[in-house]
Amino acid sequence: MSTHDGQAGADRPVFSVEPWCVREPELRLDRLAQTESVFALSNGHVGMRGNLDEGEPHGLPGTYLNSFYEQRPLPHAETAYGYPEMGQTVINVTNGKVIRLLVDDEPLDVRYGRLHHHERILDMRAGTLTRHVEWTSPADRTIKVTSVRMVSLTQRAVAAICYEVEPVDEAVRVVAQSELVANEALPGGGKDPRESAILSSPLVGEEHVANGTKVLLLHRTRQSGLRMAAGMSHDIEGPESMAIDTESSKDVGRLTVATRLEPGQRLRIVKYISYGWSSRRSRPALHDQVVGALAGARQTGWQGLLDEQRAYLDEFWEGADVEVDGDAEIQQAVRFGLFHVLQAGARAERRMIPAKGLTGPGYDGHTFWDTETFVLPVLTYTSPGAAADALGWRHMTLPLARDRANQLGLEGATFPWRTIRGHECSGYWPAGTAAFHINADISDAVVRYVDATQDEQFEREIGLDILVHTARLWRSLGHHDVGGVFRIDGVTGPDEYSAVVDNNVYTNLMARRNLQEAAETAMRHPDVADRLGVNAEEAASWRDAAAAMLIPYDERLGVHPQSESFTNHARWDFSATKPDHYPLLLNYPYFDLYRKQVVKQADLVLALHLCGDAFTDEQKERDFAYYEGLTVRDSSLSAQTQAVVAAEVGQLELAHDYLGETALMDLHDLNHNTRDGLHIASMAGAWSGLVAGFGGMRAGRGTLRFAPRLPGGISRLAFRMRYRGNRIKVSMTGEAARYELLDGRGLTLWHHGERFTLADEPVELPIEQIPVRPPVTQPAGREPAPRRIDPHGRVPRRR
């Protein structure tokens, strides 16, 4: 019997470890909200949490449309100039997943009767969520239910469900109710600022239609003025004697099928669902759009949608798959991560990629710098079109960013710290607007994409515009001091436990690159630069600022301070900090965090990764060791960066430990907040830890470099990636690496500093061995869990 009492089996893993799927072999009501996030399906336009078909029980209902939001006031204890007044919150839109079932008048509810079998499977090659249920009702009637759910990666407005019911041993009367439900009741939010604001009944009904097996509901938001439509249509197979009825009201649309099933008979319902939304188009236009999407889905048919989905994913995996021998959990996790990163951006099409994707309402559905710094590198080398779309969305919001800069008395553009539609939605200046580095993060993503794709049209039409306006920001935000050094004062770097500081190393290095790249790109496209008002004098001022950029260094300690004077601060007393007082931001005042040496997430260490050419090998080792002792990883963004740099400086086993943390963040619910949605940047971190970490992959200025080394727990690593029209495969063991051109004209690569040409024939090269480095230490109690691998590739879990 499946576990569903919320307690039994609490120490057992929720998911089995398999290479190409995530399987939940038994229902765990105590983990329901977590599994709803893990089993979420999306295409970047429509997102559906993995709620049970019946709708109840649930942890957190959720269906989302990218960039569809409601406005709410942003309260400030004390108002001040430049504070945003309105926030934006993603809302749970009309739910089309619901198919309720009554068996001889007893509703299928897993909390009642006897649940003999319950299994859910997320198939990362098919792009489907499959559910198998065998259940006996309180009236002693036993049935089997199989459902398969998908959100189409090829038809962006479409989702579909195939729902099948059959009796086990005797005839039953069944009633299936396929529904559209708006304004579902949601559980209340907590005090954690990472959770969302819960908005009650945000949708106002405008139209409802029921016709044949088709139902449509149209709504608008109360404050933001956005309009959406949801529709469903059905193909139904079953006994000849079926009664079918449809009805609708402003918040509910329902198709009801009633029949009697004898043993050997089956009721099969294929439910096609479509969505559309707009801030501009009329109600009739949205109505027609949804009707058209449903017609297209039905013309394709259920099997056609499955075939399209598989073909799309087959092509993706051909250029993205990662193979890991020796650590079965990491093998599953990296594919799980890649699948969800793809889902977050595949069909976003000039809309944002939120920090949670479309898997939950965490962070109010906002996008942050996470997207450009952690998610887009993965998409750039595996699905570059999705990366271009995300950057195209940033470009569409550039006028708002320019308005924000002007409001702050700055030149150029100030992109928002957190947003849905391009407006600043962060109500806390020190960890919001002051984190100006997001502007350089976006420009860095532009440069990375152009380097990887040689997309000159993108560079001319989108890239240069972003580079120019972010360069203007840095030139006006910073200044040359009396000695000619260029300073950027009063900013917040990636570490949000240090705020409004002078000359944050990461920010200054990224700004320097931004200024240099803007000047060089303007020279390549003088006609575009002229239209943007860039002249030789302005470009020269960018180069001068970059050349004079202050990069602080502590000669006394022989390390780079995270920001000017950071290493003069008192160290946080980690030994006196109780384990249950992490994350620190929920248990200590910010003023105390801001004046101590304590690091929320990789900051200086992130500079070691993204701006590695600014440091010597010795500096990287010393800096990494120093900041290991200060970093508490109260952010899920940190572990992947620490994994990459640990691998680079020779701390291979530690890198493996950090890889486990980022890769298993949601599968193991390490931060106990997966219920609010997946950590998409951590999902990307599994790829980064393996490819950039153990593969040593670095790219830029037409050069693709590798420095592969493996930890003891991984015997073989292979990965595929795309670069400049080529699709390549890199495979490595502890002794050698093999490079293979799968498609393309060939290219020049670097292996541990040795240049070679990859063309028709594979190239195999030895891997340099490095001496074991002395261990580095972390704050007391904040060490990553070790990856102790047993003979079956499993790792003991922490209690």
Residue 239 amino acid letter: P
> In this structure, what token pair is assigned to residue 308?
């399209």
* b/e map 493-511, b = 16+ CB within 10 Å: bbbbbbbbbbbbbbbbbbb
**Rounded to 10 degrees, what is the CA torsion of 285, 291, 297, 302?**
150
Q: Is 132 left (phi over 0), alpha (psi -120 to 50) or beta?
A: beta
Grouping H, G, I as helix, E, B as strand and the rest as coil, residue 765 is: strand
250 is annotated as contributing to ligand binding: no
* Rounded (10°) CA dihedral 471, 473, 476, 479: -70
**Partner residues linked to 120 by β-bridges:** 24, 131
* Sign of the CA dihedral with 5 first, then 9, 11, and 16 last: negative
CA dihedral 495, 500, 501, 502 (to 10 degrees): 130
Identify the CA nearest to 71 among candidates 220, 264, 275. Answer: 220
Instruction: Please report, in angstroms and rounded to a whole number, the separation of the first and last CA atoms in the chain.
Output: 25
Q: Does residue 370 have a known ligand-binding role? A: yes
Quickly list H helices, 649-797. Answer: 652-663, 680-688
Q: Cα 6 vs. chain centroid, distance in angstroms?
A: 29
Beta bridge partners of 121: 23, 130
Question: CB under 8 Å to 720, separation ≥6 — which residues?
Answer: 317, 318, 319, 320, 321, 322, 382, 727, 728, 729, 742
**What's CA 363's distance to the chain center, in Å?**
12
- Bridge partners (DSSP) of residue 115 are 135
Q: Are 45 and 154 in contact (CB under 8 A)?
A: no
Where do the H-state alpha helices sit in 574-637? 590-594, 604-610, 617-628
496 given a catalytic annotation: yes
Measured at the CA of 14, the angle between CA 12 and CA 15, to 5 degrees, comes to 120
- How many other CB atoms are there within 10 angstroms of residue 225's CB atom? 11
600: annotated binding-site residue?
Answer: yes
Strand partners, 700: 703
Give the amino acid at 499: A
Tokens of 498: 């240090």
| Distance from C-alpha of 773 to C-alpha of 278, rounded to nearest angstrom | 56
Exactly one of 496, 538, 628, 648 is catalytic; name it. Answer: 496
Q: What is the DSSP letter of 780?
A: T
Q: Which of these, 42, 285, 54, 45, lies nearest to 181 by C-alpha position?
A: 54
* DSSP codes of every residue in 31-95: GHHHHHHHT-EE-SSEEE----TT--S-S---EEETT-EEEEE---SS--TT---EEEEE----B
Residues 103-132 as b/e (b if ≥16 CB within 10 A, e otherwise) read: bbebebbbeebebeebbbbbbbbbbbbbbe
* Alpha-carbon span 331 to 326, nearest angstrom: 9
User: What is the DSSP track for 521-576?
Assistant: HHHH-HHHHHHTT--HHHHHHHHHHHHTB----BTTTTB--SSTTGGGSEEP-GGG
Q: Which of 589, 513, 603, 515 is nearest to 559 (CA)?
A: 603
Known binding positions for substrate: 369-370, 600-601
Catalytic amino acids?
Answer: 496
